[in-house]
Amino acid sequence: MSTNLQNLLELNQPALAAFFAQVGEKPSSVKMRAKQTLKWLHQSQVTDFSAMTDIAKGTRETLAAHAEIRDLTVIRDSTASDGTRKWLFDVGSSAVDAVFIPEEGRGTLCISSQAGCALDCAFCSTGKQGFNRNLSTAEIIGQLRYADLTLKADLGIVGRTLDGVQPVTNVVMMGMGEPLANFEAVVPALELMLDDNAYGLSRRRVTVSTSGLVPQIDELAKRSPVALAVSLHAPTDALRDVLVPINKRYPISELLASCNRYLEFAPRDFITFEYVMLDGVNDQMEHAEALIKIARQVPCKLNLIPFNPFPNSEFKKSPREQILAFQRRLSDAGIVTTIRKTRGDDIDAACGQLAGQIKDRTRRTIAIHAARMANTLGEDA
């Protein structure tokens, strides 16, 4: 298909209405056409315009002349013994992963927002392989569209039935990349996830994870406030400067202030702090005590993540006994604290195991074909 054609998967409802106006649709009809088209694209998940049977033939011909429906290409589809499923998507010079985690009563899809990551967190394999580019809105929402269609096909579901089985009930932006560093593509994708004419997910069931880009957290609160998870990983600026270098720009005090501001708009009354457990680095009782002080400044829950080592990593996973002791201390202080379960490790789909392939454009020399991935098994529905 010609690259001059508009990929409709790139457009949220307002942008789609603007597109219809641009191609000559009557002003009185553009909003209706946008809603109809969204339903066909994201609920029925059609691949050609001729299937949009409640849209006038002339309008379908106009769409065929000016637009296309360009889906992602899947390189690999793997399913683990526990039912976790991983897809590797071709995004041109790189490849990114998405993971579906099935549970009783819900299914969580973890998707990527960038090919690689430029933030270079010390314990993150994605950061170590460098950064290629931001994903487009179509590439972000395309991961959900593909997973939703594929899982429904497996279950024999035709179209979207809100009263029936819905495989993807939760979406988390916790795959490759820093979502808020790709803000202008991520927000329209979030809006499509929330739009009742598209995927109709509640704000509570869509989570953005960030390393702490304070201005973008504030802007997200205004534009599309969904559940927020913050990759904290250290309770002091000195340690977080090393583990999460963006802390040098936005230290913990500024980050906590932005979290409290966000809660004024958030669909949940708490922020989730993610905390990867690194043996001898951030898992001692003095770290727990410092973390308790942080947790008392922001309504929050803590999600402890056992570290999954990757090639050339300098860190080791905290012993299970240490993680449990750390959790007990936080829980005894009245802080809701969960330990993330490991899922899909036999297909390299657990946290830190994904096999995204990045053509680095940041001139880094380390070539590790793995990507950080998280799931929300420890999070509320």
pLDDT given at position 357: 64
The answer to whether residue 1 scores a pLDDT higher than 80 is no
State whether 59 and 194 are in the same domain: no
State whether 18 and 107 are in the same domain: no
pLDDT above 90 covers a percentage of the chain that reads 73
Inside any domain, residue 173: yes
Inside any domain, residue 24: yes
* CA-closest candidate to residue 86, choices 150, 152, 156, 173: 150
- Give me the residue label for tokens 């010390």: 122
pLDDT given at position 139: 98
Query: How far apart (Å, rounded) are the C-alpha atoms in residues 177 and 199?
Result: 23
Render pLDDT for 188-226 as a digit per residue (tens, 0 to 9): 999 999 999 999 999 999 999 999 999 999 999 999 999
* CA-closest candidate to residue 88, choices 115, 48, 59, 57: 115
State whether 87 and 34 are in the same domain: no
Dihedral angle sign, alpha carbons of residues 233, 239, 242, 244 = positive
Render pLDDT for 2-22 as a digit per residue (tens, 0 to 9): 468 999 999 999 999 999 999
Question: Is the Cβ–Cβ distance between 69 and 42 less than 8 Å?
Answer: no
Q: What is the mean pLDDT of residues 25-35?
A: 95
State whether 56 and 86 are in the same domain: no
State whether 40 and 112 are in the same domain: no
State whether 147 and 199 are in the same domain: yes
Check which CATH number belongs to the domain holding 247 and give it: 3.20.20.70
pLDDT above 70 covers a percentage of the chain that reads 86
pLDDT given at position 119: 87
Q: Which residue has the higher pLDDT, 157 or 142?
A: 142
State whether 187 and 246 are in the same domain: yes
State whether 150 and 231 are in the same domain: yes
pLDDT given at position 380: 40
Mean residue pLDDT across the chain = 88
The answer to whether residue 162 scores a pLDDT higher than 60 is no
Render pLDDT for 78-102 as a digit per residue (tens, 0 to 9): 888 888 899 999 998 889 999 999 9
pLDDT given at position 318: 95
Inside any domain, residue 354: no
Burial 84-111 (b: 16+ CB within 10 A, else e): bbbbbbebeebbbbbbbbbbeeebbbbb
Render pLDDT for 110-122 as a digit per residue (tens, 0 to 9): 999 999 888 888 8
Query: How far apart (Å, rounded) are the C-alpha atoms in residues 316 and 311?
Result: 11
Label each residue of 222-252 as H, E or C: HHCCCEEEEECCCCCHHHHHHHCHHHHCCCH
Render pLDDT for 147-159 as a digit per residue (tens, 0 to 9): 999 998 888 776 5
State whether 128 and 197 are in the same domain: yes
Inside any domain, residue 319: yes
Inside any domain, residue 311: yes
Query: How far apart (Å, rounded) are the C-alpha atoms in residues 192 and 198?
Result: 6
Range of the structural domain that residue 219 is part of = 73-347
Q: What is the mean pLDDT of residues 232-255?
A: 97
pLDDT given at position 374: 31
The answer to whether residue 370 scores a pLDDT higher than 50 is no
The answer to whether residue 371 scores a pLDDT higher than 60 is no
Question: Is the Cβ–Cβ distance between 131 and 118 less than 8 Å?
Answer: yes
Domain boundary among the residues 51, 68, 85 is at 68
Inside any domain, residue 376: no
pLDDT given at position 267: 95
Residues 6+ apart with CB under 8 A from 84: 99, 100, 101, 102, 343, 344, 347, 349
Q: Which residue has the higher pLDDT, 309 or 165?
A: 309
| Number of structural domains found in the chain | 2
Check which CATH number belongs to the domain holding 51 and give it: 1.10.150.530
The answer to whether residue 298 scores a pLDDT higher than 50 is yes
In a 3-state reduction of DSSP, which class is residue 357? strand
pLDDT given at position 82: 83
The answer to whether residue 353 scores a pLDDT higher than 50 is no
The answer to whether residue 131 scores a pLDDT higher than 50 is yes
State whether 274 and 289 are in the same domain: yes
Query: How far apart (Å, rounded) are the C-alpha atoms in residues 330 and 351?
Result: 23
State whether 239 and 327 are in the same domain: yes
Inside any domain, residue 360: no
* CA-closest candidate to residue 354, choices 82, 76, 157: 76
State whether 49 and 112 are in the same domain: no
